[in-house]
């Protein structure tokens, strides 16, 4: 299948796009798991560290807990950016 694409619009075969999306989805999933289970493992194995106060009212544990939520937001945002800017462009290429 010859593919002629508009300038600046990338085009990949379906197989390549499948592999790319799968790789990105899997890496982001693994990143989320590392962040979350890293937090849980610290809770389980290094309670003194998490209890240490950075400033009055803010312990390392509370900060890291809030950062896990922020990390979930950031990873989601990264995916949406990639999908809106790149993935959708490849799909347009495939539909043509």
Nearest-approach distance from CB 88 to another protein, in angstroms: 7
At its nearest, how many Å lie between another protein and the CB of residue 4? 19
> Is there a contact between 32 and 71 (Cβ–Cβ < 8 Å)?
yes
Q: Kindly tell me the sign of the dihedral angle through the C-alpha atoms of 11, 15, 21, 24.
A: negative
Contacts with another protein by CB under 8 A lie at: 14, 17-18, 21-22, 24-26, 28-29, 32-33, 35-37, 39-41, 43-45, 47-48, 50-53, 55-59, 61-62, 65-66, 68-70, 72-73, 75-77, 79-80, 83-84, 88, 91, 94-95
SS3 content of the chain, % helix, strand, coil (to 5): 75, 5, 20
């Amino acid at each position: 299948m010859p593919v002629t694409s508009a300038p600046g619009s990338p085009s990949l075969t379906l197989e390549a796009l499948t592999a790319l999306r799968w790789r990105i989805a899997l890496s982001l999933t693994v990143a989320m798991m590392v962040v979350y289970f890293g937090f849980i493992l610290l809770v389980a194995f290094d309670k003194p560290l998490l209890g240490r106060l950075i400033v009055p009212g803010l312990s390392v544990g509370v900060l890291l807990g809030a950062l896990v939520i922020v990390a979930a937001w950031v990873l989601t945002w990264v995916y949406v950016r990639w999908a809106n800017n790149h993935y959708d462009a490849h799909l347009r290429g495939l539909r043509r």
